[in-house]
A and B are shown apart, each in its own frame.
Chain A
């Protein structure tokens, strides 16, 4: 129940290393903002600065318009879910959830009511008397969530909370987190390196690279119009195919002119097709099949074309064989252009 405003936030470590180089993000009330990027891009540092666990060496962080740079994590009224859950190993689940409330001097009956209420939402009621080591990974994850929810904080912070779960559970918890966040209406910041999590959870997606914001916005907008080659290759799986413009030849009779500064061309695996001969308009590349990856509903063809490896998605079961020669085509409106700095052109 707060807006979070980051203005030109910087983090310079004692050794002179600049981990976060001026990040500005405005998160509206009740929104879920996902910070995504490769490891070492500064996303966790940024989250920890919002939490107050790390000092902010430049810029401001404000909750509801009030700058919180100087105050500690307790007074900021945030709750955090850690990657390894960080449950207190010697306390029962009940006490793990109640600890933060006790430290804030909440009356006993109020604590009891809130813990039981939260436990019910998260289906933890039957586990309250257990200790963390007696729980499965998924249950621990729930307790960590419960510990955050029970406090009813202004802001939720999630630091890669699902990275220790198996794939199935991760999918389940992803949906659950989204639903919980929506029904509780608490402004949240979520850090992950998993682009699928980022795409599905985010109201606002922030793609970070080397301490800077590479692109910020609605996840589908980012997917459809990546601002740079970095974003293009980071968001989407398999990533966008990127080819130097000079190596590409176009099918006869079509006029597609590359924007003036464009040096790199990109197209997503699902926007391309494979045919036996070049036909229609748009891009046409001679390719050799180097690998086939059947996933079930779709298959990915890994082809060598224009000296690069190009991935193409084909629906259903693929009948193509290794070494087969074919043509990869893509429609002109599905092409992305980037300039020599990797920024979007045209």
Chain B
């Protein structure tokens, strides 16, 4: 990577100073295009409703940062039944974590069974899991909803999480990884007296940790941004996830909508996925660097 700030001796071969300026100009322009809406949302979240409704919206943050954020987080938002955003954040975190962790546990166990054990109909089970890949959630949403109603799981965390937990994709991913583990390693563990459970805990899990980290990031964001299923399965405002609540906050009539709170909620909805990506990325890269096998 070229570092233009550190003088011409650090230039890459065949790279001119102009080339570097052009490249950086393009990159900066790209960032501006992508980041500006987010910045503008942030700006809007620090102004009063009156300022937002009276265009044009200023380009610099206002003075109501603390008021707006504390009102949204702890005061409750009128249009969603006075539920504070902190409750929404909590709900969504529970759901996203539940989905991510649940999916990882279920898929790693089923992949373990399919790859390392010989049992009747093994390949049949594998194909059944594989086929569900081709079935989108929307196709089975009615029967799933009916089952949830019958089990009394509407407006519960379990109802939000359990139907989304089974994952053919993650199972396949783990299966592919497990297939790359050399047979000798499995045999060495057997000779060393490790039973199926010990092998899983001591060898397989530590070796899969980079895969688990990668999946966790993807699945957490998948869970965080779920829309259709939470919309169906929650009636109680207390049980809303943040994405659903955001939708409910926005009224058809402009004047009815507390835009400053909508902006605050939007900003807050972005923070946890960003944190997960940023924090897990370190793990991720470390895992990628120490390729071990």
Interface string of A124-136 (1 = CB under 8 A from B): 0000000111000
Determine if B202 is an interface residue (Cβ-Cβ < 8 Å): yes
A74 to B203 alpha-carbon distance, docked (Å): 17
Determine if B64 is an interface residue (Cβ-Cβ < 8 Å): no
Let me know if B190 and A99 touch, CB within 8 A.
no
A-B contact count (CB 8 A): 59
A131 to B290 alpha-carbon distance, docked (Å): 11
Let me know if A84 and B292 touch, CB within 8 A.
no
CB distance from B17 to the nearest CB of A (A): 41
Are A86 and B187 also in contact (CB < 8 A) when A99-B202, A100-B192, A103-B198 are? yes
Are A82 and B192 also in contact (CB < 8 A) when A89-B292, A89-B293, A133-B290 are? no
Contact of B203 among A53, A78, A82, A88 (CB under 8 A): A88
Neighbouring A residues of B192 by C-beta, 8 Å: 74, 99-100, 103, 147
A126 to B192 alpha-carbon distance, docked (Å): 24
Determine if A79 is an interface residue (Cβ-Cβ < 8 Å): yes
A87 to B203 alpha-carbon distance, docked (Å): 11
Let me know if A131 and B292 touch, CB within 8 A.
yes
Neighbouring B residues of A133 by C-beta, 8 Å: 290, 292
Let me know if A103 and B207 touch, CB within 8 A.
no
Are A86 and B184 also in contact (CB < 8 A) when A99-B194, A100-B191, A103-B192 are? yes
Contact of B191 among A73, A89, A131 (CB under 8 A): A73
Are A78 and B191 also in contact (CB < 8 A) when A90-B206, A99-B202, A103-B198 are? yes
Output the nearest chain A residue to B188 by Cβ-Cβ distance.
Answer: A86
Neighbouring A residues of B190 by C-beta, 8 Å: 53, 72-74
CB distance from A104 to the nearest CB of B (A): 5
Residue contacts A-B, CB under 8 angstroms, 18 given: A53-B187, A72-B190, A74-B193, A78-B191, A82-B188, A86-B188, A88-B188, A88-B202, A90-B207, A90-B292, A99-B194, A99-B202, A100-B193, A103-B198, A104-B193, A131-B292, A132-B292, A147-B188
B interface with A by C-beta (< 8 Å): 182, 184-185, 187-194, 198, 202-203, 206-207, 290, 292-293
